[in-house]
């Protein structure tokens, strides 16, 4: 660790510094009221998603795997720690993109985990789409199909933000 307590060696540090490959690792998450929206979007974009590795939380992962007939690595359900697992994998550089159709109009029992996941994506400069329009723009970007090196956010380096 360096003087600020940030890890500077080991697999997590190495993974965080590697560029994203041309084939991205995409996490799919949806709250209960948004699962139908995510499935519609995923079916529409099946051809693009099939060229990438898919990950998802709990029930969403099962629904996506069944609907798309594609392999999906499944984390725990969001309220049972799945959002935290996705956040940890983002921080370690093991995921590249998050598509998270969350429900802003209904309180979730794990709202703290949702906010933490959004924070991790921003801190580690990882793309995160929280609605269909943003997800469409993200999947249609020419950067999706090529290697990409995110800028190391000053927040991720432990810079004082006070």
Reference 18, options 156, 154, 153, 148; nearest CA is 148
Reference 24, options 107, 95, 114; nearest CA is 95
Q: Which of 83, 103, 125, 136 is catalytic?
A: 83
- Show the 3-state SS of 39-67: HHHHHHCHHHHCCCEEEEEHHHHHHHHHH
Whether 96 sits among the annotated catalytic residues: the reply is no
User: So which residues are the catalytic ones?
Assistant: 83
């Amino acid at each position: 660790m360096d003087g600020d307590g940030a890890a500077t060696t080991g697999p997590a540090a190495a993974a965080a510094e590697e560029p994203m490959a041309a084939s991205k690792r995409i996490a799919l998450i949806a709250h209960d009221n948004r699962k139908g929206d995510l499935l519609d979007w995923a079916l529409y974009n099946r051809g693009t998603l099939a060229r990438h590795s898919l990950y998802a939380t709990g029930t969403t992962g099962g629904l996506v795997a069944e609907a798309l007939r594609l392999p999906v690595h499944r984390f725990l359900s969001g309220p049972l720690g799945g959002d935290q697992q996705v956040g940890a994998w983002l921080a370690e550089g093991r995921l590249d993109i998050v598509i998270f159709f969350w429900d802003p109009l209904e309180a979730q029992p794990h709202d703290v985990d949702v906010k933490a996941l959004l924070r991790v994506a921003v801190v580690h400069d990882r793309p995160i789409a929280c609605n269909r329009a943003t997800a469409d723009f993200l999947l249609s970007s020419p950067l999706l199909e090529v290697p990409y090196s995110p800028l190391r956010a000053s927040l991720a380096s432990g810079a004082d933000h006070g």
